[in-house]
Amino acid sequence: MNEILNGIRVVDLTRVLAGPYTTRILADFGAEVIKVQSNKSATGAEVNTSAYFSGWNRNKRSITLDLSHPEARELFLKLTAISNIVIENFSPRVMANWGLQYQSLKTVNPDLIMISMSAMGQTGPWKDSVAFGPTIQALSGLTYLTSFDKDAPLGPGYAYGDIVAGLYAVIAILAALETRDRDGNGQYIDLSEYEALSGLMGPALMDVAVNQREVLPQGNGPCYLPAAPHGCYRCSGRDKWCAIAVFTDEEWQALKGVMGNPEWAEQERFSELSSRQTHAQELDALLGQWTVKHDPKGLMQILQEAGVPAGVVQSSEDLAQDPQLRARRYFIRRKDAGPGLTTADAFPAIFNGARTGRWKAAPLLGEDNHYVFVELLGLEENELRSYMERGIIG
């Protein structure tokens, strides 16, 4: 797998999650990702020895370059000239202030692919707004729709929007590489994280835009899916749950059989899907009285064997011990400079029957300065020292 993007060099100006996730995937596939940092900016989520940084920046190189200096920008242009991709996730004004917009960069590298991953995109009245994943989730409606109550927005509890934007960015970059291979032309990609997440709202977005209908949070309900029962049901043990979704009459009959055909399940109000949906609240309460007597994993097994869609609601600890993931060697062990020996996730696809075992720890701040500035760009040792002493490389 590490060989697929061998020969592709990426100059990575991204920070925090959306951009670093994009470049982590490219690095996993073998691209040489050179992360541009500085002593000024390597703070918070960008501290190289933190567990957070380690998780999103494996297989990359790190250089220090303070782009507020004109001479640093000259070095950046030289690096751009010998690279294939430049990626950044600042607000639009940042690259413009440095004079490093795509129009400037392509003068030194005409077939360059550049992608800007901003919160709102490079145009529009909100273009200069900055945001993190949870902000985008709120704007897109995801925070509202994943709540249980319209008066108490909840959200997914994770920067899901950043992951979505990162995946869209990878797709866009690979498409641009494919196009460049065909016609030799580079291009500029303007990616809006807001648009990436809004597009996943699906029927809810269409319902509002086309039907002008109010869309309310459904909690664990099926929303636009024809299913009842449908939800997460409490099981025996502390905070143990099982997700159950019944779409067809055959599945409903199978569920009744597993339950021992209780009298309440034979009531007229539960006889058809439409009436079960109408009486979903009562149905959930009665089903929950049965599921609470069962271990979630055992319940999942007997329901699946009967043909009823069901799955354990796993905690992080459950996930780490999951036998399916372990059997596929999904978890990798790696020694990072900061957190030490860590467990991380691999890429979720296996190529030619094998999962790569080559994983490089996240880089220390500036650990590849010599390689990039001397070996790639041809600086003399005394020039490197001079740039470092003046804080240009630093």
What is the C-alpha separation between 129 and 166, in angstroms, rounded?
A: 19
Q: How confident is the model at residue 156 (pLDDT cuts 50, 70, 90)?
A: confident
Q: Domain check: are 26 and 156 in the same one?
A: yes
SS3 state of residue 60: strand
| Residue 150 placed within a domain | yes
The average pLDDT across 185-209 equals: 87
With a CB cutoff of 8 Å and minimum separation 6, the contacts of 79 are 11, 34, 372, 376, 377
Helices (H), the chain: 18-28, 51-56, 70-81, 92-98, 102-105, 133-140, 142-145, 160-183, 193-198, 203-211, 249-259, 273-278, 280-291, 296-305, 316-320, 323-327, 369, 381-389
Q: Domain check: are 169 and 285 in the same one?
A: no
The reported pLDDT for the residue numbered 2 is: 61
Enzyme catalytic residues: 162
User: By C-alpha distance, which of 161, 34, 36, 19 is closest to 89?
Assistant: 19
- For the ranges 104-118, 126-140, 334-348, 380-394, which has the lowest average pLDDT? 334-348
State the chain's mean pLDDT as an integer: 91
More confident residue, 114 or 331: 114
Q: Domain check: are 23 and 151 in the same one?
A: yes
DSSP 178: H
Domain range for 345 is 9-199+330-389
What is the C-alpha separation between 42 and 39, in angstroms, rounded?
A: 6
The average pLDDT across 64-76 equals: 95
Cβ distance 326 to 269 under 8 Å? no
The average pLDDT across 85-89 equals: 97
**Per-residue pLDDT tens for 18-34?**
999 999 999 999 999 99
Angle, helices 160-183/18-28, rounded to nearest 10 degrees: 50
Report the b/e string of 276-312 with b at 16+ CB within 10 A: bbeebeebbebbbebbeebebeebbeebeeeebbbbb
| Residue 322 placed within a domain | no
Choosing from 271, 290, 314, the residue where a domain stops is: 314
CATH number (domain holding residue 304): 3.30.1540.10
Cβ distance 284 to 231 under 8 Å? yes
More confident residue, 9 or 352: 9
The reported pLDDT for the residue numbered 257 is: 95
Q: Domain check: are 279 and 310 in the same one?
A: yes
| Residue 1 placed within a domain | no
What is the C-alpha separation between 213 and 391, in angstroms, rounded?
A: 57
The strand pair at 310-312 and 241-245 is best described as antiparallel
Angle, helices 296-305/249-259, rounded to nearest 10 degrees: 130
**Per-residue pLDDT tens for 227-280?**
999 999 999 999 999 999 999 999 999 999 999 999 999 999 999 999 999 999
CATH number (domain holding residue 128): 3.40.50.10540
The reported pLDDT for the residue numbered 38 is: 93
Cβ distance 13 to 38 under 8 Å? no
Q: What percent of the chain has pLDDT over 70?
A: 99
Q: Domain check: are 272 and 376 in the same one?
A: no
With a CB cutoff of 8 Å and minimum separation 6, the contacts of 348 are 330
What tokens were used for 125? 């009245």
Q: Domain check: are 149 and 22 in the same one?
A: yes
Q: Domain check: are 120 and 188 in the same one?
A: yes
The reported pLDDT for the residue numbered 391 is: 92
pLDDT tops 90 at residue 160: no
What is the C-alpha separation between 307 and 278, in angstroms, rounded?
A: 24
The number of distinct structural domains making up the chain is: 2
What is the C-alpha separation between 87 and 97, in angstroms, rounded?
A: 16
- For the ranges 183-187, 275-279, 338-342, which has the lowest average pLDDT? 338-342
| Residue 153 placed within a domain | yes
The reported pLDDT for the residue numbered 298 is: 95
More confident residue, 199 or 104: 104
Q: Domain check: are 259 and 115 in the same one?
A: no
- Taking CA atoms, 364 is separated from 176, 287, 361, in Å, by 30, 53, 9
| Residue 205 placed within a domain | no
Q: Domain check: are 51 and 125 in the same one?
A: yes
Q: Domain check: are 21 and 166 in the same one?
A: yes
